[in-house]
């Protein structure tokens, strides 16, 4: 189910909102520079702006570029308001962990061991999921190039409390 959600999000998310196609493609060099900045300087990059500004289009393009760059993309999650799974914060870290395991051989065994050790982890708190499925396994990658996780549409997550818990 999670793999299907991941692939659907990548394949069916609009690349550019209506009316922003030229503006979006004209900024590709600037986006490349921003991508390099993400790699070099910041563990967290927050893209913000008003509704309709093209944030999701930028995230989709960044997702595609990182997916094409060998080994950079760890995982993605596009929240969507009122969607059964994409609006549900409780699947965020499980989905990202699943994608990390698929995208990085070194993380696969560590994440798999976490789930084997505690099969109920998928129903545990987001804090426990983040710690056991993402943070602890990623500590094994200290000497590896960074993996990037993209989360889009946090404001479309089901509740403000869930949004705050994620942050």
Position 31 scores a pLDDT of: 63
CB 76 within 8 A of CB 99: yes
CB 63 within 8 A of CB 73: yes
Residues 6 or more apart whose CB falls under 8 angstroms from that of 30 comprise none
pLDDT digits (tens, 9 = 90+) for 79-130: 988 888 888 889 999 999 999 999 888 899 999 999 999 999 999 999 999 9
Nearest CA-CA partner of 135 in 109, 111, 99, 104: 111
* pTM (two decimals): 0.72
* Per-chain mean pLDDT for the chain: 79
CA distance 91 to 148: 18
Domain locations in the chain as residue ranges: 2-166
Tokens 């989905």 belong to 95
Say whether pLDDT at 4 is over 50.
no
Position 128 scores a pLDDT of: 95
Say whether pLDDT at 131 is over 60.
yes
- Mean pLDDT, residues 40-52: 75
Position 20 scores a pLDDT of: 44
- Mean pLDDT, residues 37-54: 73
């Amino acid at each position: 189910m999670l793999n299907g959600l991941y692939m659907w999000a990548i394949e069916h998310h609009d690349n550019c909102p209506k009316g922003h196609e030229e503006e979006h493609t004209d900024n590709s060099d600037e986006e490349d520079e921003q991508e390099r900045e993400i790699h070099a300087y910041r563990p967290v990059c927050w893209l913000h702006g008003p509704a309709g500004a093209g944030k999701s289009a930028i995230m989709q393009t960044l997702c595609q570029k990182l997916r094409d760059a060998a080994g950079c993309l760890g995982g993605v999650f596009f929240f969507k308001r009122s969607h059964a799974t994409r609006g549900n914060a409780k699947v965020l870290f499980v989905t990202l962990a699943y994608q990390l395991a698929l995208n990085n051989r070194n993380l696969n065994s560590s994440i798999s061991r976490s789930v084997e050790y505690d099969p109920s982890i998928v129903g545990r708190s987001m804090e426990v999921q983040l710690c056991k499925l993402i943070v602890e396994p990623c500590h094994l990658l200290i000497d590896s190039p960074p993996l990037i996780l993209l989360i889009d549409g946090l404001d479309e997550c089901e509740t403000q409390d869930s949004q705050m818990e994620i942050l």
